[in-house]
Amino acid sequence: MVRFVLVHGGGGGAWYWFKLVDMLLSSGHEVEALNLAASGIDTRTPADVFSLDDYNQPLLEYLAALPENDKVILVSHSLGGRSAAYATELHPDKIALAVYLAAPFCSNHLGPEFWYERIKDTSVYDLFYERGKNNLPTAVMRKKSLEPDYAHQLCSSEDRTLSRMLDRAIPTAALFGSFTNTEEKYGSVPLVYIKTLQDLACPPEIQDKWIATHPFGNLKEVLTIDSDHCAALSAPSRLHDLLIQVVGAHAS
């Protein structure tokens, strides 16, 4: 039996993993799908989130509370890769394997400047100023009028509707907080990357760049899945099988 901890992407929540959770439980594993701060059913708003520690509090507290010598398989999606990389730097002894699904998986080349460049176009993104216009924006969300299903083009209409109903604005603290991954800590945990081949939100060429510029030797394998950005919704069975495969290969 393996314990999986699942970390959603920006604007998502634990709900994103509901199909995969059911499959992993049916396979006899333990699973914990978390809601990060101001995400999913977490009751905080982006104005309550001032730092990476605030945003990632549910994940950091979960890992810190694990019994001594207990380790998990940490699976992250999209922006959740930033949370996973941060948590891995702080708690490398709690993670047997980190799996990144269409996710940035090292902070060192993907700092705040990278994320600022992605969201500064206000024709594409709505910015929210819950602390007033004289302060930095507290949250960002892609305009719903623009290609609403660009991340879910291979999902069922029901799953696309579910995503539109449940997605929330992303606290900017999740994007702009700075940290450094080190070889001593982050680099001591084996990593696997799963590239989403039909991804319109995070195209394969961007993922290839992340893979090519990874600075440490702990990337053990790169796999592909023929899915859109939201593989846990559009290709859950294949994703389940890949996770079981990589656990057997790299976390035994």
Report, as residue numbers or ranges, the catalytic residues. Answer: 78, 199, 229
Beta strands in the chain (DSSP E): 3-7, 30-34, 72-77, 95-101, 125-128, 139-142, 170-171, 191-196, 219-225
* Torsion region of 51: left, alpha or beta (phi above 0 gives left; psi -120 to 50 gives alpha): beta
Of the candidates 124, 151, 141, 178, the one whose C-alpha atom is nearest the C-alpha of residue 39 is 141
Kindly tell me the number of DSSP H helices and DSSP E strands found in the chain: 10, 9
The burial class, CB within 10 Å (0-12 / 13-18 / 19+), for 55 is buried
- Could you tell me which residues come within 8 angstroms of residue 118 by beta carbon, excluding any fewer than 6 positions away? none
